[in-house]
Amino acid sequence: MPNRCTPLSCQRWAVASTQAVENPVKVSGMLTQDLEMVPLAVAELERRGFDAAFSAEINNDPFFPLLLAAEHSERIQLTTSISVAFARNPMTTATLAWDLNQYSRGRFAIGLGSQIKPHITRRFSMPWSQPAARMREFIAAMRAIWHCWESGETLAFQGEFYRHDLMTPMFVPARRDFGAPGVTLAAVGPLMTETAAEVADGMIAHGFSTARYLREVTLPAVEKGLQKSNRQREDFTISAPVMVVAGKDEQAFAASKQAVQHQLAFYSSTPAYKGVLELHGWGDLQAEAHRLTRENRWDELGALISDDILDTFAIVAQNIEDVPKLLSARYAGLVDTWMCTVETGDTDLQQQLVSAVQAA
């Protein structure tokens, strides 16, 4: 039966977490979208030992929570994961990111993502074409804007998709103590992954990635991008929201399993992610999942995910205390930051979990 850690197992976690680790895995946690609760939430993440807090652009603006988080925290890093680049332009995004980095005293990095064509063209009413090339230029344009602000040099960015060549002193931010923020880029396919390694400081792997996919598809693309930017792997970070099935008791474990199966099936329905399934010989699953979504049979999606598929995409832990070693065994050398997908509901237990992952 799944169970929470006993006092003895918690003690084992605490002992393990005191051991020095050469390249410790960092752990980030998701902020609430409830603005009234953000101050308490970020304080709790800091108290539990999280290295970073991220805010997602789902059904709320992703930047507002981070402004509050910056005000009510001291050391934790802050990032969007993700904010939709193509719903904006480089100037507005550069300004937002710059202001957040100054206000947080250098603790902000902007995490960008492309989204997919229907959302960009139909939900945001913005142009879509050549997403990898457009993203490369988007990030290059932001960096050109930041360089202009920092150096005082003339802004003269001319690209295929974006043009920024007007910047008078009146519009240069007054506060420049902490410089430009970091940039990370969400990527699944090899082309966007290569782009991330070429122009960004790190990438955000999709939750619908497996260790094999990261090893055989993602890392080779990262190496190609790093070669273009004359950097090494240690100069680039990979974050991943590795899914975990776990629970403090049998009922919680079953609920966790059902939720992860449904999430995996939903991702399976997206044509852009078919390559991940095909790598494992499950390409037909994409068409079946897509058919169910088109027929509004959402409740049936989870049944498409067998235990074999579940075990491949997610860490399945009968005991919560096994999560750190299972994560390390599967993703060591592949992932630098685990975007924590486990909520124990217990502050002490959560802190033990985070410390154990960092020390694994």
In the chain, domain spans: 21-243+323-359, 247-316
Is the confidence at residue 3, as pLDDT, over 60?
Answer: no
- Dist. CA 27–CA 52, nearest whole Å: 7
Q: Which amino acid is at 160?
A: E
The proportion of the chain whose per-residue pLDDT surpasses 70, expressed as a percent, equals 94
Nearest to 214 by CA among 52, 112, 332: 332
Q: What average pLDDT does the segment 268-275 reach?
A: 91
Q: What average pLDDT does the segment 128-146 reach?
A: 98
Structure confidence by residue, pLDDT tens digits, 41-100: 999 999 999 999 999 999 999 999 999 999 999 999 999 999 999 999 999 999 999 999
pLDDT band at 22 (very low <50, low <70, confident <90, very high): low
pLDDT band at 233 (very low <50, low <70, confident <90, very high): very high
pLDDT band at 9 (very low <50, low <70, confident <90, very high): very low
CATH fold, domain 21-243+323-359, is TIM Barrel (3.20.20)
Structure confidence by residue, pLDDT tens digits, 31-54: 999 999 999 999 999 999 999 999
Structure confidence by residue, pLDDT tens digits, 105-130: 999 999 999 999 999 999 999 999 99
- Token pair, residue 16, equals 């393990």
- Dist. CA 339–CA 54, nearest whole Å: 9
Nearest to 339 by CA among 3, 9, 54: 54
- Token pair, residue 350, equals 């959560």
Is the confidence at residue 10, as pLDDT, over 70?
Answer: no
pLDDT for 344 equals 79
